[in-house]
Structure 1
Amino acid sequence: MKKIALGLVFVLGIASSAFGDFDKNFKQGIKELTNIDVEIQVKKKLKSFNGEYFVIGRTKKGDIFPVIVSQDGKYFIGLSSVMNFSKDDSKMIMEEINKAGEAKMKEDSKALNALFEEFKESDFVVLKGEKENLPTKIVVTDPDCPYCRKHLKDVESQLKEANLKLIFAPVHDENAFIKAQLILNATAKAKDNAAKIAILRKYYNDIKLSEKEKKTDIKQVKYTTEKIFNSGLIDGVPFVFDVE
Protein backbone atom coordinates (compact mmCIF):
# COMPACT_ATOMS: atom_id res chain seq x y z
CA MET A 1 0.00 0.00 0.00
CA LYS A 2 1.18 3.47 -0.56
CA LYS A 3 2.57 4.69 2.70
CA ILE A 4 4.37 7.99 2.78
CA ALA A 5 5.49 9.98 -0.02
CA LEU A 6 5.04 13.36 -1.62
CA GLY A 7 8.83 13.48 -1.76
CA LEU A 8 8.89 15.22 1.58
CA VAL A 9 11.62 13.14 3.17
CA PHE A 10 14.08 14.97 0.97
CA VAL A 11 12.65 18.44 1.36
CA LEU A 12 15.05 20.71 3.20
CA GLY A 13 12.69 23.59 3.65
CA ILE A 14 9.79 24.99 1.71
CA ALA A 15 8.32 28.42 2.18
CA SER A 16 4.64 29.07 1.73
CA SER A 17 3.55 32.39 0.36
CA ALA A 18 0.30 32.11 2.24
CA PHE A 19 -0.42 34.16 5.32
CA GLY A 20 -2.70 33.31 8.20
CA ASP A 21 -2.84 30.52 10.73
CA PHE A 22 -0.70 27.40 11.00
CA ASP A 23 -3.12 24.96 9.35
CA LYS A 24 -3.77 27.22 6.38
CA ASN A 25 -0.08 27.91 5.80
CA PHE A 26 0.90 24.25 6.05
CA LYS A 27 -1.81 23.04 3.69
CA GLN A 28 -0.97 25.79 1.22
CA GLY A 29 2.73 24.90 1.34
CA ILE A 30 2.02 21.24 0.59
CA LYS A 31 -0.36 22.22 -2.19
CA GLU A 32 2.26 24.43 -3.81
CA LEU A 33 4.88 21.69 -3.60
CA THR A 34 2.85 18.66 -4.66
CA ASN A 35 -0.49 19.94 -5.98
CA ILE A 36 -2.14 17.64 -3.44
CA ASP A 37 -4.71 18.67 -0.83
CA VAL A 38 -3.97 17.46 2.69
CA GLU A 39 -5.36 17.57 6.20
CA ILE A 40 -3.48 17.61 9.49
CA GLN A 41 -3.99 14.34 11.34
CA VAL A 42 -1.53 14.92 14.19
CA LYS A 43 0.04 18.17 15.44
CA LYS A 44 2.25 18.12 18.55
CA LYS A 45 4.69 20.70 19.86
CA LEU A 46 8.31 19.57 20.07
CA LYS A 47 10.51 20.01 23.12
CA SER A 48 13.69 19.59 21.08
CA PHE A 49 13.18 22.63 18.84
CA ASN A 50 11.88 26.00 19.91
CA GLY A 51 8.37 26.61 18.59
CA GLU A 52 8.36 23.80 16.03
CA TYR A 53 5.77 21.05 15.64
CA PHE A 54 5.70 17.40 14.70
CA VAL A 55 2.92 16.95 12.15
CA ILE A 56 1.44 13.95 10.41
CA GLY A 57 -0.32 15.05 7.24
CA ARG A 58 -2.92 13.01 5.43
CA THR A 59 -3.99 13.12 1.79
CA LYS A 60 -7.55 12.60 0.59
CA LYS A 61 -6.55 9.08 -0.46
CA GLY A 62 -5.44 8.35 3.09
CA ASP A 63 -1.68 8.44 2.57
CA ILE A 64 0.18 9.76 5.62
CA PHE A 65 3.49 11.60 5.94
CA PRO A 66 5.43 12.91 8.98
CA VAL A 67 7.19 16.29 8.91
CA ILE A 68 8.67 18.88 11.25
CA VAL A 69 6.90 22.22 10.78
CA SER A 70 7.76 25.76 11.83
CA GLN A 71 5.62 27.64 14.35
CA ASP A 72 3.74 29.52 11.63
CA GLY A 73 3.31 26.48 9.38
CA LYS A 74 5.21 28.08 6.50
CA TYR A 75 8.32 25.89 6.57
CA PHE A 76 8.62 22.13 6.88
CA ILE A 77 11.23 19.42 6.68
CA GLY A 78 11.04 15.65 6.40
CA LEU A 79 12.16 13.48 9.31
CA SER A 80 15.84 12.56 9.29
CA SER A 81 18.05 10.28 11.36
CA VAL A 82 20.48 13.15 11.91
CA MET A 83 17.91 15.19 13.85
CA ASN A 84 18.72 15.45 17.53
CA PHE A 85 15.39 14.82 19.28
CA SER A 86 14.96 14.56 23.01
CA LYS A 87 13.94 11.18 24.45
CA ASP A 88 10.41 12.43 25.02
CA ASP A 89 10.12 13.73 21.46
CA SER A 90 11.58 10.55 19.96
CA LYS A 91 9.11 8.43 21.92
CA MET A 92 6.17 10.66 20.98
CA ILE A 93 7.10 10.66 17.29
CA MET A 94 7.42 6.87 17.10
CA GLU A 95 4.16 6.35 18.97
CA GLU A 96 2.26 8.75 16.72
CA ILE A 97 3.72 7.29 13.52
CA ASN A 98 2.86 3.77 14.69
CA LYS A 99 -0.68 4.79 15.66
CA ALA A 100 -1.22 6.57 12.35
CA GLY A 101 0.18 3.58 10.45
CA GLU A 102 -2.04 1.13 12.31
CA ALA A 103 -5.10 3.29 11.70
CA LYS A 104 -4.21 3.49 8.01
CA MET A 105 -3.82 -0.28 7.81
CA LYS A 106 -7.21 -0.83 9.45
CA GLU A 107 -8.88 1.59 7.08
CA ASP A 108 -7.18 0.03 4.06
CA SER A 109 -8.09 -3.47 5.21
CA LYS A 110 -11.74 -2.54 5.60
CA ALA A 111 -11.79 -0.85 2.19
CA LEU A 112 -10.02 -3.79 0.50
CA ASN A 113 -12.44 -6.29 2.02
CA ALA A 114 -15.32 -4.22 0.67
CA LEU A 115 -13.68 -3.95 -2.76
CA PHE A 116 -13.07 -7.68 -3.20
CA GLU A 117 -16.55 -8.58 -1.91
CA GLU A 118 -17.98 -6.75 -4.93
CA PHE A 119 -16.48 -9.29 -7.35
CA LYS A 120 -18.15 -12.52 -8.38
CA GLU A 121 -16.56 -15.87 -7.56
CA SER A 122 -16.09 -16.40 -11.30
CA ASP A 123 -13.73 -13.39 -11.34
CA PHE A 124 -11.22 -15.40 -9.28
CA VAL A 125 -9.05 -18.45 -9.82
CA VAL A 126 -9.59 -20.27 -6.54
CA LEU A 127 -6.89 -22.61 -5.23
CA LYS A 128 -7.83 -24.50 -2.09
CA GLY A 129 -5.20 -24.85 0.64
CA GLU A 130 -3.95 -28.26 1.72
CA LYS A 131 -5.62 -28.15 5.14
CA GLU A 132 -9.01 -27.21 6.50
CA ASN A 133 -9.64 -23.83 8.15
CA LEU A 134 -6.68 -22.09 6.54
CA PRO A 135 -6.72 -18.31 6.06
CA THR A 136 -7.41 -16.92 2.60
CA LYS A 137 -5.13 -14.64 0.61
CA ILE A 138 -6.25 -12.67 -2.42
CA VAL A 139 -3.54 -12.19 -5.05
CA VAL A 140 -3.92 -9.43 -7.63
CA THR A 141 -1.79 -10.57 -10.53
CA ASP A 142 -0.78 -10.26 -14.20
CA PRO A 143 0.43 -13.16 -16.44
CA ASP A 144 3.10 -10.95 -18.04
CA CYS A 145 4.46 -9.43 -14.82
CA PRO A 146 7.92 -10.88 -13.99
CA TYR A 147 7.33 -10.55 -10.25
CA CYS A 148 3.93 -12.25 -10.56
CA ARG A 149 5.57 -15.13 -12.42
CA LYS A 150 8.13 -15.43 -9.66
CA HIS A 151 5.35 -15.39 -7.06
CA LEU A 152 3.58 -18.24 -8.89
CA LYS A 153 6.66 -20.48 -8.89
CA ASP A 154 6.22 -21.57 -5.27
CA VAL A 155 2.43 -21.63 -5.29
CA GLU A 156 2.36 -25.20 -3.94
CA SER A 157 4.27 -24.07 -0.85
CA GLN A 158 1.89 -21.16 -0.38
CA LEU A 159 -1.06 -23.56 -0.44
CA LYS A 160 0.32 -25.29 2.65
CA GLU A 161 -0.34 -22.07 4.57
CA ALA A 162 -3.42 -20.52 2.93
CA ASN A 163 -6.20 -20.71 0.40
CA LEU A 164 -5.45 -18.51 -2.61
CA LYS A 165 -7.83 -16.49 -4.74
CA LEU A 166 -6.19 -14.97 -7.81
CA ILE A 167 -7.77 -12.01 -9.57
CA PHE A 168 -6.36 -10.34 -12.65
CA ALA A 169 -5.41 -6.70 -13.11
CA PRO A 170 -2.84 -6.65 -15.92
CA VAL A 171 -0.49 -3.70 -16.21
CA HIS A 172 0.97 -4.84 -19.54
CA ASP A 173 -0.41 -4.80 -23.09
CA GLU A 174 -3.48 -6.54 -24.50
CA ASN A 175 -1.76 -9.94 -24.62
CA ALA A 176 -1.71 -9.95 -20.82
CA PHE A 177 -5.46 -9.33 -20.75
CA ILE A 178 -6.05 -12.13 -23.25
CA LYS A 179 -3.89 -14.55 -21.25
CA ALA A 180 -5.75 -13.64 -18.06
CA GLN A 181 -9.11 -14.24 -19.70
CA LEU A 182 -7.95 -17.54 -21.20
CA ILE A 183 -6.86 -18.62 -17.72
CA LEU A 184 -10.25 -17.73 -16.25
CA ASN A 185 -12.07 -19.58 -19.02
CA ALA A 186 -9.93 -22.70 -18.71
CA THR A 187 -9.72 -22.90 -14.92
CA ALA A 188 -13.50 -22.59 -14.65
CA LYS A 189 -13.63 -26.11 -16.14
CA ALA A 190 -10.70 -27.51 -14.15
CA LYS A 191 -11.49 -29.98 -11.38
CA ASP A 192 -8.56 -29.58 -9.02
CA ASN A 193 -5.59 -27.43 -8.01
CA ALA A 194 -3.14 -29.37 -10.15
CA ALA A 195 -5.11 -28.69 -13.31
CA LYS A 196 -5.55 -25.01 -12.45
CA ILE A 197 -1.86 -24.55 -11.64
CA ALA A 198 -0.88 -26.20 -14.93
CA ILE A 199 -3.10 -23.72 -16.77
CA LEU A 200 -1.63 -20.80 -14.87
CA ARG A 201 1.93 -21.88 -15.62
CA LYS A 202 1.13 -22.34 -19.30
CA TYR A 203 0.12 -18.71 -19.68
CA TYR A 204 2.58 -17.20 -17.18
CA ASN A 205 5.21 -17.51 -19.90
CA ASP A 206 6.26 -15.72 -23.07
CA ILE A 207 4.06 -17.82 -25.32
CA LYS A 208 2.74 -16.86 -28.73
CA LEU A 209 -1.03 -16.56 -28.85
CA SER A 210 -2.93 -18.09 -31.74
CA GLU A 211 -5.14 -16.00 -33.98
CA LYS A 212 -8.16 -17.64 -32.36
CA GLU A 213 -6.90 -16.79 -28.87
CA LYS A 214 -6.28 -13.19 -29.88
CA LYS A 215 -10.02 -12.85 -30.57
CA THR A 216 -10.94 -13.76 -26.98
CA ASP A 217 -13.47 -11.44 -25.35
CA ILE A 218 -11.57 -9.72 -22.53
CA LYS A 219 -14.41 -7.66 -21.05
CA GLN A 220 -14.31 -9.55 -17.76
CA VAL A 221 -10.61 -8.88 -17.17
CA LYS A 222 -10.96 -5.26 -18.27
CA TYR A 223 -13.73 -4.85 -15.71
CA THR A 224 -11.73 -6.31 -12.81
CA THR A 225 -8.65 -4.31 -13.79
CA GLU A 226 -10.48 -0.99 -13.97
CA LYS A 227 -12.37 -1.60 -10.73
CA ILE A 228 -9.21 -2.55 -8.84
CA PHE A 229 -7.04 0.34 -10.01
CA ASN A 230 -9.82 2.93 -9.93
CA SER A 231 -10.33 2.12 -6.24
CA GLY A 232 -7.10 3.97 -5.42
CA LEU A 233 -6.19 1.18 -2.98
CA ILE A 234 -3.86 -0.79 -5.25
CA ASP A 235 -1.32 0.60 -7.68
CA GLY A 236 0.74 -2.40 -8.75
CA VAL A 237 1.09 -6.17 -9.00
CA PRO A 238 1.57 -8.61 -7.47
CA PHE A 239 -0.54 -7.44 -4.57
CA VAL A 240 -1.35 -9.88 -1.77
CA PHE A 241 -4.14 -9.26 0.72
CA ASP A 242 -4.98 -11.31 3.80
CA VAL A 243 -8.75 -11.67 3.96
CA GLU A 244 -10.22 -11.06 7.40
Structure 2
Amino acid sequence: MKKTLLSIAAFTSLAFGATDAQIADFFSKILPPDASFNIISKKDVGNGFEQVTFEIKGQMDGKEVSQKDIIFTNGDFFAPDIISLKDGSSLKDQAQKALSSQSLLPLLKAEKKEYIISVGNDPKKPTEYMFTDPECPYCRAELARIEQELKDKNLKMVLTPVHDRSALEKAALIYKEVAKAKSDSEKVKIMRKYYAPSAKVEKGSVSDAEVARLEELRSKYFQAGLKSVPYKIMAE
Protein backbone atom coordinates (compact mmCIF):
# COMPACT_ATOMS: atom_id res chain seq x y z
CA MET A 1 0.00 0.00 0.00
CA LYS A 2 2.83 2.36 0.79
CA LYS A 3 3.85 4.66 -2.02
CA THR A 4 7.56 5.13 -2.66
CA LEU A 5 9.51 7.68 -4.61
CA LEU A 6 11.52 4.93 -6.21
CA SER A 7 11.30 1.16 -6.56
CA ILE A 8 14.87 -0.09 -6.38
CA ALA A 9 13.92 -3.63 -7.39
CA ALA A 10 13.17 -2.41 -10.90
CA PHE A 11 16.83 -1.69 -11.55
CA THR A 12 18.50 -4.92 -10.54
CA SER A 13 20.02 -5.56 -13.95
CA LEU A 14 21.36 -2.08 -14.67
CA ALA A 15 25.05 -1.28 -14.49
CA PHE A 16 26.90 1.92 -13.77
CA GLY A 17 30.09 3.26 -12.21
CA ALA A 18 30.15 3.09 -8.42
CA THR A 19 31.57 6.54 -7.71
CA ASP A 20 29.35 8.97 -5.79
CA ALA A 21 29.03 11.23 -8.82
CA GLN A 22 28.04 8.40 -11.15
CA ILE A 23 25.48 6.97 -8.69
CA ALA A 24 23.93 10.40 -8.18
CA ASP A 25 23.89 11.05 -11.94
CA PHE A 26 22.18 7.71 -12.60
CA PHE A 27 19.38 8.34 -10.11
CA SER A 28 18.91 11.95 -11.18
CA LYS A 29 17.90 10.66 -14.62
CA ILE A 30 15.16 8.36 -13.34
CA LEU A 31 13.75 10.43 -10.46
CA PRO A 32 11.02 13.07 -10.83
CA PRO A 33 12.38 16.56 -11.66
CA ASP A 34 11.58 17.92 -8.19
CA ALA A 35 13.29 15.06 -6.33
CA SER A 36 16.77 15.25 -4.83
CA PHE A 37 19.25 12.42 -4.25
CA ASN A 38 21.91 12.33 -1.53
CA ILE A 39 24.35 9.60 -0.49
CA ILE A 40 24.40 9.30 3.31
CA SER A 41 27.12 6.72 3.80
CA LYS A 42 29.16 3.95 2.15
CA LYS A 43 30.48 0.85 3.89
CA ASP A 44 32.60 -2.11 2.81
CA VAL A 45 30.64 -5.33 3.45
CA GLY A 46 33.19 -7.76 2.02
CA ASN A 47 33.58 -9.82 -1.15
CA GLY A 48 34.09 -6.66 -3.18
CA PHE A 49 30.68 -5.19 -2.27
CA GLU A 50 30.02 -1.78 -0.80
CA GLN A 51 26.81 -0.85 1.01
CA VAL A 52 25.49 2.53 -0.11
CA THR A 53 22.84 4.22 2.05
CA PHE A 54 21.05 7.13 0.38
CA GLU A 55 18.10 9.47 0.79
CA ILE A 56 15.62 10.74 -1.80
CA LYS A 57 13.48 13.80 -1.08
CA GLY A 58 10.54 14.91 -3.15
CA GLN A 59 6.85 15.82 -3.30
CA MET A 60 4.06 13.28 -2.85
CA ASP A 61 0.38 14.13 -2.53
CA GLY A 62 1.31 17.76 -2.00
CA LYS A 63 3.67 17.02 0.89
CA GLU A 64 7.45 16.90 1.07
CA VAL A 65 8.57 13.38 1.91
CA SER A 66 11.88 11.59 2.17
CA GLN A 67 12.83 7.97 1.60
CA LYS A 68 16.01 6.29 2.77
CA ASP A 69 17.16 3.10 1.08
CA ILE A 70 20.16 0.89 0.53
CA ILE A 71 21.88 -0.65 -2.50
CA PHE A 72 25.06 -2.69 -2.87
CA THR A 73 27.70 -1.88 -5.47
CA ASN A 74 30.53 -3.94 -6.87
CA GLY A 75 32.61 -2.29 -9.57
CA ASP A 76 30.26 -1.27 -12.37
CA PHE A 77 27.23 -3.13 -11.01
CA PHE A 78 24.70 -2.73 -8.22
CA ALA A 79 22.15 -5.01 -6.58
CA PRO A 80 19.17 -4.27 -4.31
CA ASP A 81 20.19 -7.02 -1.86
CA ILE A 82 22.80 -9.66 -1.05
CA ILE A 83 21.48 -13.02 0.15
CA SER A 84 23.65 -15.53 1.97
CA LEU A 85 23.53 -19.00 0.39
CA LYS A 86 24.59 -20.48 3.73
CA ASP A 87 21.65 -19.35 5.87
CA GLY A 88 19.39 -17.32 3.57
CA SER A 89 19.95 -14.13 5.55
CA SER A 90 19.49 -10.79 3.81
CA LEU A 91 22.19 -8.16 4.14
CA LYS A 92 19.66 -5.48 3.23
CA ASP A 93 17.24 -6.60 5.94
CA GLN A 94 19.98 -6.29 8.53
CA ALA A 95 21.02 -2.86 7.26
CA GLN A 96 17.45 -1.58 7.03
CA LYS A 97 16.68 -2.63 10.59
CA ALA A 98 19.60 -0.56 11.78
CA LEU A 99 18.49 2.32 9.54
CA SER A 100 14.88 2.06 10.72
CA SER A 101 15.96 2.14 14.35
CA GLN A 102 17.58 5.53 13.79
CA SER A 103 14.37 7.06 12.41
CA LEU A 104 11.60 5.10 14.15
CA LEU A 105 12.82 4.91 17.74
CA PRO A 106 12.81 8.69 18.34
CA LEU A 107 9.20 8.81 17.11
CA LEU A 108 8.20 5.88 19.29
CA LYS A 109 9.79 7.43 22.37
CA ALA A 110 7.86 10.66 21.76
CA GLU A 111 4.58 8.94 20.86
CA LYS A 112 1.41 9.72 22.82
CA LYS A 113 0.59 7.00 25.36
CA GLU A 114 -2.87 6.61 23.88
CA TYR A 115 -1.32 5.19 20.69
CA ILE A 116 0.91 2.61 22.39
CA ILE A 117 -0.60 -0.61 23.73
CA SER A 118 1.76 -1.84 26.45
CA VAL A 119 1.58 -5.50 27.42
CA GLY A 120 4.02 -6.79 30.03
CA ASN A 121 5.82 -4.64 32.56
CA ASP A 122 8.74 -6.69 33.84
CA PRO A 123 11.79 -4.45 34.39
CA LYS A 124 14.04 -7.51 34.10
CA LYS A 125 12.91 -8.20 30.53
CA PRO A 126 13.77 -6.28 27.35
CA THR A 127 11.02 -4.30 25.62
CA GLU A 128 10.13 -4.68 21.97
CA TYR A 129 7.98 -2.38 19.83
CA MET A 130 5.72 -3.96 17.23
CA PHE A 131 3.85 -2.23 14.39
CA THR A 132 0.70 -4.16 13.60
CA ASP A 133 -2.57 -4.20 11.62
CA PRO A 134 -5.83 -5.92 12.70
CA GLU A 135 -6.50 -7.13 9.13
CA CYS A 136 -3.00 -8.45 8.43
CA PRO A 137 -2.88 -12.30 8.54
CA TYR A 138 0.75 -12.26 9.69
CA CYS A 139 -0.13 -9.83 12.47
CA ARG A 140 -2.92 -12.19 13.54
CA ALA A 141 -0.35 -14.97 13.77
CA GLU A 142 1.88 -12.77 15.94
CA LEU A 143 -1.05 -11.97 18.24
CA ALA A 144 -1.92 -15.67 18.49
CA ARG A 145 1.43 -16.38 20.16
CA ILE A 146 1.68 -13.25 22.27
CA GLU A 147 1.60 -15.15 25.58
CA GLN A 148 4.70 -17.07 24.49
CA GLU A 149 6.41 -13.81 23.47
CA LEU A 150 5.67 -12.25 26.86
CA LYS A 151 7.68 -14.95 28.61
CA ASP A 152 10.85 -13.32 27.31
CA LYS A 153 9.97 -9.66 26.71
CA ASN A 154 7.57 -6.78 27.22
CA LEU A 155 5.66 -5.55 24.17
CA LYS A 156 4.58 -2.09 23.07
CA MET A 157 2.28 -2.23 20.05
CA VAL A 158 1.41 0.58 17.65
CA LEU A 159 -1.48 0.08 15.24
CA THR A 160 -0.41 1.16 11.74
CA PRO A 161 -2.85 -0.56 9.36
CA VAL A 162 -1.80 -0.98 5.74
CA HIS A 163 -5.32 -1.98 4.77
CA ASP A 164 -8.30 0.25 3.99
CA ARG A 165 -10.77 2.14 6.17
CA SER A 166 -12.16 -0.93 7.94
CA ALA A 167 -8.70 -1.65 9.38
CA LEU A 168 -8.37 1.96 10.55
CA GLU A 169 -11.81 1.75 12.16
CA LYS A 170 -10.88 -1.45 13.98
CA ALA A 171 -7.67 0.20 15.18
CA ALA A 172 -9.65 3.17 16.51
CA LEU A 173 -12.01 0.87 18.42
CA ILE A 174 -9.11 -1.15 19.81
CA TYR A 175 -7.41 1.98 21.15
CA LYS A 176 -10.71 3.20 22.64
CA GLU A 177 -11.47 -0.07 24.44
CA VAL A 178 -7.90 -0.85 25.50
CA ALA A 179 -7.76 2.51 27.28
CA LYS A 180 -10.36 1.14 29.72
CA ALA A 181 -8.71 -2.28 30.17
CA LYS A 182 -7.43 -3.10 33.65
CA SER A 183 -5.06 -5.94 32.79
CA ASP A 184 -2.83 -7.28 30.04
CA SER A 185 -5.20 -10.19 29.47
CA GLU A 186 -8.07 -7.75 28.88
CA LYS A 187 -5.98 -5.82 26.34
CA VAL A 188 -5.11 -9.01 24.46
CA LYS A 189 -8.75 -10.14 24.52
CA ILE A 190 -9.88 -6.82 23.00
CA MET A 191 -7.25 -7.04 20.28
CA ARG A 192 -8.17 -10.61 19.42
CA LYS A 193 -11.83 -9.60 19.10
CA TYR A 194 -11.01 -7.09 16.37
CA TYR A 195 -8.19 -9.11 14.80
CA ALA A 196 -10.55 -12.03 14.15
CA PRO A 197 -11.16 -12.50 10.38
CA SER A 198 -14.91 -12.36 11.08
CA ALA A 199 -14.73 -9.07 13.01
CA LYS A 200 -17.05 -6.34 11.73
CA VAL A 201 -17.29 -2.66 12.59
CA GLU A 202 -20.78 -1.32 13.21
CA LYS A 203 -21.63 1.48 10.80
CA GLY A 204 -21.22 4.89 12.40
CA SER A 205 -19.28 3.61 15.42
CA VAL A 206 -16.08 5.36 14.26
CA SER A 207 -16.07 8.97 13.07
CA ASP A 208 -14.23 10.38 10.07
CA ALA A 209 -12.10 12.41 12.49
CA GLU A 210 -11.00 9.24 14.32
CA VAL A 211 -10.12 7.57 11.03
CA ALA A 212 -8.14 10.65 9.98
CA ARG A 213 -6.11 10.55 13.21
CA LEU A 214 -5.21 6.90 12.60
CA GLU A 215 -4.35 7.68 8.99
CA GLU A 216 -2.01 10.42 10.22
CA LEU A 217 -0.45 8.04 12.74
CA ARG A 218 0.35 5.36 10.18
CA SER A 219 1.56 7.88 7.61
CA LYS A 220 4.02 9.32 10.11
CA TYR A 221 5.72 5.97 10.61
CA PHE A 222 5.69 4.87 6.98
CA GLN A 223 7.22 8.17 5.93
CA ALA A 224 9.88 7.64 8.61
CA GLY A 225 10.93 4.29 7.15
CA LEU A 226 8.41 1.65 8.22
CA LYS A 227 7.87 -0.59 5.19
CA SER A 228 5.52 -3.36 6.29
CA VAL A 229 3.66 -5.00 9.17
CA PRO A 230 4.21 -6.81 11.41
CA TYR A 231 7.49 -5.06 12.11
CA LYS A 232 9.46 -5.36 15.34
CA ILE A 233 12.16 -3.16 16.77
CA MET A 234 13.88 -3.44 20.15
CA ALA A 235 13.70 -0.49 22.51
CA GLU A 236 17.03 0.91 23.61
What is the TM-score normalised by the length of structure 1? 0.69
* Partner residue in 1 for 2:120: 128
Change over 3 Å in CA distance of 1:29–1:194 after alignment to 2: same
Aligned AA (1:222): E
* Partner residue in 1 for 2:64: none
Q: Distance in 2 between matches of 1:7 and 1:202?
A: 37
* Partner residue in 2 for 1:67: 73
Q: Distance in 2 between matches of 1:222 and 1:152?
A: 22
Give the structure with the higher percent strand. 2
> For residues 3-24 of structure 1, what are the alpha-carbon distances to aligned partners after superposition, in whole Å with 9 as ceiling and x for unaligned?
xx8238842635x8xxxx9543
Which residue among 52, 56, 59 is the counterpart of 1:57? 52
Q: Show the 5 A alignment for 1:1-244.
A: 6-7=8-9, 10-11=12-13, 13=15, 22-32=19-29, 37-39=37-39, 41-42=41-42, 55-60=50-55, 61-70=67-76, 76-78=77-79, 105-129=97-121, 131-205=122-196, 206-215=198-207, 217-231=210-224, 233-244=225-236
Q: Distance in 2 between matches of 1:79 and 1:122?
A: 37
**How far off its partner does 1:32 sit?**
3.5
| Count of residue pairs brought into register by the alignment | 206
Q: Distance in 2 between matches of 1:184 and 1:80?
A: 37
**How far off its partner does 1:63 sit?**
2.3
Partner SS, residue 168 of structure 2: helix
**How far off its partner does 1:37 sit?**
2.8
* Partner residue in 2 for 1:73: none
> For residues 66-119 of structure 1, what are the alpha-carbon distances to aligned partners after superposition, in whole Å with 9 as ceiling and x for unaligned?
22234xxxxx354999xxxxxxxxxxxxxxxx8x99776555323222011221
Change over 3 Å in CA distance of 1:54–1:197 after alignment to 2: closer
Change over 3 Å in CA distance of 1:8–1:133 after alignment to 2: same
Identity %: 27
Q: Which moved more, 1:217-226 or 1:182-191?
A: 217-226
User: What do you get for the CA RMSD once the two structures are aligned?
Assistant: 3.6
**How far off its partner does 1:222 sit?**
2.4
- Structure 2: which 5+ runs fail to align? 1-6, 56-66, 83-90
Q: Distance in 2 between matches of 1:80 and 1:154?
A: 30
Change over 3 Å in CA distance of 1:57–1:177 after alignment to 2: same
> For residues 135-158 of structure 1, what are the alpha-carbon distances to aligned partners after superposition, in whole Å with 9 as ceiling and x for unaligned?
111111111111111110001111
Q: Distance in 2 between matches of 1:56 and 1:8?
A: 18
Partner SS, residue 105 of structure 2: helix
Q: Distance in 2 between matches of 1:40 and 1:212?
A: 47
- Structure 1: which 5+ runs fail to align? 71-75, 82-97
**How far off its partner does 1:133 sit?**
1.9
**How far off its partner does 1:62 sit?**
3.9
Mark the structure with the bigger radius of gyration: 1
